[in-house]
Amino acid sequence: MRNDRGRGNVEYLIRNDESRREILRSTQNDTASHELIDIYGWNCYNVCMNRSFEIAVLSGLMLCLAGCTSSGKERVWEQVKIGDLALVHSGGQPGVQPLRTMNFNLHIFEIPAENIGKLEDVWQSLYTQPLRFYNYPAFNANLFKVRFGKRYTWSGIRDTLAGAGGKRMGRFSLLLADGKPQDITITGLGNEQEVCYISSDGSREEPTVGPGILGLRIAAQKIASERGVCNVVACPVFSPPMPSAGLLAEQAKSHELKFTGAGFGLKMGLDDYVVLGPRKYISEQTMLPGLFFSNPAGTFFLDESKRKGPERKSSVRVFVLVCTSINI
């Protein structure tokens, strides 16, 4: 794994399905205050540093992981950080605090990879303003995309996904205790492999992981000063096989890999939802967006406009997280 910490001009060697290409990332001096939160330990800290993250992309037949950056129009999140959503445990003695829980449904859809362009109808009909990030340019470079919606738009989003050939592959009901994270399995890694991603400090990482599970870690906490509202933070994480308890479980947990560069957070109320999906279709399973969103083995889809049976097609995953209740 090679770490380049964003000083001066940095050259990345990026793999794709056919070859490796070199792209150049240039940085400029700019001052920004980055408020970060450790989603896995819930400890807040502030880091003030001089940086600007602007990626120059070389055109090609396929856009590679670190070569993808935000367009000039998508700058609304650059100064909005996930630290604004710091989850802090309340004080008091065990047993005297009321049980605070938040309920969510996580819907997992798959659509044919050839129809990924139809997701633009989803993104354009939803909102960006409530969202927070550890580092938005890193989130963008990881080819993740997320939008926020209200209850009255949910049925339309379902119709749009169905119109793109989407199938709901599953629904998970989550009961989240106040500030306690829960993992949802996305895919399994049976063997060791490299995973290429952009970290929250802007460096390109390529560690070897596996075997284990790639999941989506979700946590929520009630906001005492705002009735019916909670802070929600979500982030991809790799976890090795983990014993149920004891010293071995603690050792295994220390080997987790948290992809905070692809993490996001926001405030949510009843029936609010977020849609998480890929910016581009990346089939390469050694890149984080390909591993998290893509299903190269494919799924059977039925095209009702054609008079033939279901066809197996490569697909991409789209996640919809819906807040169904906030209990105090």
Give the residue, 56 or 214, on which the prediction is more confident. 214
Going through 113-202 in order, the beta strands assigned E by DSSP cover: 132-133, 144-149, 167-177, 182-189, 193-194, 197-198
Q: How far apart are CA 215 and CA 240, in angstroms?
A: 11
d(CA 143, CA 55): 13
pLDDT tens column, 104-134: 999 999 999 999 999 999 999 999 988 999 9
Q: Where are the domains of the chain?
A: 10-327
What is the enclosing helix (H) or strand (E) of 50?
Answer: strand 43-50
How would residue 302 be classed by pLDDT, with cut points 50, 70 and 90? confident
Give 168-207 pLDDT, tens digit per residue. 999 999 999 988 999 999 999 999 999 999 999 999 999 9
The answer to whether 205 and 24 have CB atoms below 8 angstroms apart is no
CA gap 30, 297 in Å, rounded: 44
Question: Is this prediction's pTM over 0.85?
Answer: no
State the pLDDT at residue 144: 98
